[in-house]
Structure formats: structure tokens, C-alpha cells
Structure 1
Amino acid sequence: MRRDIQPNERAFSSKEVAETVGIATPTVRKYGQVLERNGYEFLKDGERRIFVQSDIEALVALRDTPNSLDDTAKELVELQKERLKESNQTEIAISDTYETLPHDPNQLKEALMIVFKELAATREMNIQLTNDMSQLKTTISRLQQDHHIISSTIGNAAQKTNAKIQKLTEQQTNHYETLLQQEKQKTEQLKQEIQLMRDEQKREWSSQTDFNQRLEEALQQRKGRWGKLFSLFGK
């Protein structure tokens, strides 16, 4: 039985604890199971856990621990046991105080006034804590919105960058294909020019061959005529 809870201390649901600690609701249940497995005591409404401020501090310790969850849970259980011992001692002291309450009405009135003042101060402190929690929730909500805006901005910038990269890639591809097509056309044109030069050279060779043949025939004919002439002089 837990006796370390103060009168009128605020209780939190799992969802409220998740928002306060900054973890998911399933993680709250997981941490609660780890703590109970190692001997930690929670207030319960049936099977539902009811959290108070000291429980939230324990969950924060589990969230931020560099050690294993079970090792940290064991340390938290020891701290809770110490708090329970101190609470038991306080209850004994309070019982003794009731036995020694003054019987003088004036003294009793003064004692009650002191108690009322302490209760009023506690109430004001609770109101201040409630306001602080409200402001903290507002700040967390704004931070979440800012995070969403930043994430959206980064996502949009990434999309624009990818679009630019894709556009540049397409431009480079088109430019390369254009250059390749131009080179093909130049190569084809060069082949045609070379073929024309070869054809022209063949025609020149053929013409030269014909000329040489005619020249040789003409020389042969002249040689025959001169031979006849020389034969006449020889007679």
C-alpha cells in the first residue's frame, strides 16, 4: 500500500503522462510493466494504473537512462521504498502530534489557522503548477507545429531539388542525343564524300587507262608505217 502520496495530489492518466514525458502511450505501459516487474507499486483502479508526480519522475528516469531498463527500475524501486519508509515515519509523527494537540481553544485556533494557511499555500502552488503544465503543453504543441512546418519545408525543398536534378538530367540526355545524332550525320556525310572521291578516282584511272591504250595503239601504228618506209629505202 502506497503512503507517499500527498492529500489532493493530482493524478494523471496514461495519455497525460505520455504527453508530459514526451513518449508514446504504449511506451508508458511498457515502462510501467518494467517497474512493476522489479517491485514498483502503482496506484490502480482495477487494472488501470494511476500515475502521480513521483511516478512521472520514474518514467522520465527510464526514458533518459543510459543503462538497461531493468537495472534502472531496480534503483527506482529502492528509492520508492525509502520514500515509503519516510512516509511511515511521518504518519507516526502525525499521530503523536494529534495526541499532543493543545486543549486550549485559543491555541487550537492558532494551530488550525496555521494549517489553513499551509493548505492555502499548497492550493496556490497546485494552481501555479497547473498553469505551468498548461504553458508547457502549449509550448510542446508549438514545438510540434514548428517541427511539422520545418519537416514540410525540408520535404518541399527536397522535392524541388529532385525536380531540378531530373530536369538537368533530361537536358543533358537530350543534348547528348542531339550531339550523337549530329556526329552520325557528319559521319554519314563524310562516308558519302569519301565514296564520291573513290568513284572520281576510279573514273580518272579508267580515263587514264583508255588514254594509255589509245596512245600505245597510235605508237604501234606509227611504228608500222616507219617500218614500211625504212624497208622501201632499203631496197
Structure 2
Amino acid sequence: MRSDIQPFERSFSSKEVAEEAGIATPTVRKYGQILERNGYVFLKEGDRRIFVQSDIEALIALRDTDKPLDDTAKEIAQQQKERLEGFSETEIAVADTYENLPQDPNHLKEILSYLANELAATREMNVQVINDMTDLKTTVSRLKQDHHDLSSNISNSAQKTQTRIDKLSEQEKIHYETLLEQEKQKSDYLQKELQNLREEMKKEWLSQNDFNKRLEKAIQKPKDKWDWIFSIFGKKGS
């Protein structure tokens, strides 16, 4: 328990501490973790650290050290321990809080004014936190929508691509079957032409063979000149 914090002592947010110490807000958290790891005690509200002026001075000392951070943090924690023990030895018990309220109206007015300012600052901070949370929710919702749209676009694109592929495959199949049918028709036509050519050649061969036979007979049994000539062409002399 921190006994060195004075009544009505001002507290600082992490952002204010970062500005006071001249460091980044993430560094405030980092230094706070290092200090706690080495025995330093912060006033806390739940898991949230509440900083006072002495805490800012500890962070500045950690910022400006030339030694390893843990070594400096141990020294700071030891100094805090000694200071807290000194406060415990000289602690004054207060029987009734109301008896310790300042009697001077001006002093009391200053205290009430300070409390009002602190309350206003706290409310302002709460409003800012609420706004930040709203913005965060909006951003998360937008990211979810973007992810959904992107997934839908990818799915639609993939479906369209597959449809095009199927269509091209079908067209290629039809084209191949058409070419195959054309080649088959050409083959059938060529077969018929070849068969006709063979039959014509056969007829021509038979005709030539018959002519050769008649010529051979005419040569072997010659008659008169005209009978021989006519016999070649299959005619008789008149």
C-alpha cells in the first residue's frame, strides 16, 4: 500500500505521464512493468496503474540512466521502499477525517475546486474512452464488412473463372468432335474415290488385256491384210 501519497495529490493518465516524462505511451507501460518486476509499487485501480508525481520522477530516472534498466529499477524500488518505511514510522493516525478538513473557507474552496477539476477531467477521459471504443467498434465492423466483401468477390471471381473454363472446355470438345467428323467424312470420301479408281483401273486392265489377246491371235493367224486389221479391233471384213 502506498503511504507516501498525499491527500488530494494529483494523479496522471498514461498519456499525461508520457508528455511529462517525454517518452511514448507504450514506453510508459514498458517502464512500469520493469519497475514492478524489480519491486516498485504503483497505486492501482484494478489492473490500471494510477501515476503520481513520484512515479513520473521514477520513469524519468529510468529514461535517463546509463546502466541496465533492471539495475536502475532495483535502485529506484529500494529508494521507494525506504521512503515508504519512513512514512510508516512517522504516520499520524487520523481519528476523524472531518476534523482534518481545513477551516479556512478559501482553502476549502481551493480543495473543492481541485476535486471538481479532477472529476471533470475524469469525465472527459471517460467520454474519450467511450468515443475511442465506439470508433474501434466501427473500425472492426468495417473491417469485417470489407473481409466479407473481399471473400464474396474472391468467391464470385473463382466461380466466374470456373464457368469460363467449363465453357471453353465445352467449346474445345465441340470443335474437336467437329474436326473429327470432318476428317471421317474426308476419309470416307477418299475411300470411295480410291475404290472407284481401282474399279476403273480394273476395267481398263481387262479392256487392255482383251485387246492384247485379240492382237496376239491376229498375229498368229494372219489372213489377208484387211481381215487382219479388222480382227484387231474386233470387226470382220465385209
TM-score (norm 1): 0.60
**Any stretches of 5+ residues in structure 1 without a counterpart?**
12-21, 93-109
Counterpart residue type for residue 142 of structure 1: T
Quote the offset at 1:180 in angstroms: 1.9
Q: Within 1, Cα distance between the matches of 2:179 and 2:73?
A: 83
Alignment of 1:105-184 (within 5 A): 112-184=104-176
Higher relative contact order (CA 8 A, sep 6+): 1
Residues 9/162 of structure 1: CA separation in 2 closer, same or farther (3 Å cut) = farther
Q: 1:226 aligns with which of 211, 218, 224?
A: 218
1:7 alignment counterpart? 7
2:36 alignment counterpart? 36
Quote the offset at 1:150 in angstroms: 1.2
Alignment of 1:47-86 (within 5 A): 51-54=49-52, 71=69, 74=72, 78=76
Quote the offset at 1:81 in angstroms: 5.8
Quote the offset at 1:199 in angstroms: 0.9
Larger Rg: 2
Query: Contact conserved, 1:42 with 1:51, CA < 8 A, in 2?
Result: yes
Identity %: 15
Quote the offset at 1:49 in angstroms: 6.7
Q: Within 2, Cα distance between the matches of 1:126 and 1:73?
A: 35
Q: Deviations over 1:59-86 (max 9, x none)?
A: xx8xxx9xxxx8389479759969x98x
Query: Contact conserved, 1:34 with 1:73, CA < 8 A, in 2?
Result: no
Counterpart residue type for residue 132 of structure 2: I
Counterpart residue type for residue 133 of structure 2: S
**Any stretches of 5+ residues in structure 2 without a counterpart?**
12-24, 91-101, 226-238
Residues 73/197 of structure 1: CA separation in 2 closer, same or farther (3 Å cut) = farther
Query: Contact conserved, 2:42 with 2:49, CA < 8 A, in 1?
Result: yes
Q: Within 2, Cα distance between the matches of 1:76 and 1:121?
A: 38
Q: Within 2, Cα distance between the matches of 1:34 and 1:6?
A: 25
Q: Within 2, Cα distance between the matches of 1:50 and 1:186?
A: 79
Counterpart residue type for residue 191 of structure 1: E
Deviates more, 1:33-42 or 1:195-204: 33-42
Q: Within 2, Cα distance between the matches of 1:37 and 1:223?
A: 131
1:209 alignment counterpart? 201
Quote the offset at 1:147 in angstroms: 1.3
* RMSD of Structure 2 on Structure 1 (CA): 4.4
Q: Within 1, Cα distance between the matches of 2:205 and 2:166?
A: 58
Query: Contact conserved, 1:2 with 1:43, CA < 8 A, in 2?
Result: yes
Q: Within 1, Cα distance between the matches of 2:213 and 2:47?
A: 133
2:182 alignment counterpart? 190
TM-score (norm 2): 0.59
Q: How many residues align?
A: 185
Deviates more, 1:189-198 or 1:131-140: 189-198
Q: Within 1, Cα distance between the matches of 2:178 and 2:74?
A: 83
SS at structure 1 position matched to 2:222: helix
SS at structure 1 position matched to 2:174: helix
Residues 74/39 of structure 1: CA separation in 2 closer, same or farther (3 Å cut) = farther
Counterpart residue type for residue 194 of structure 1: K
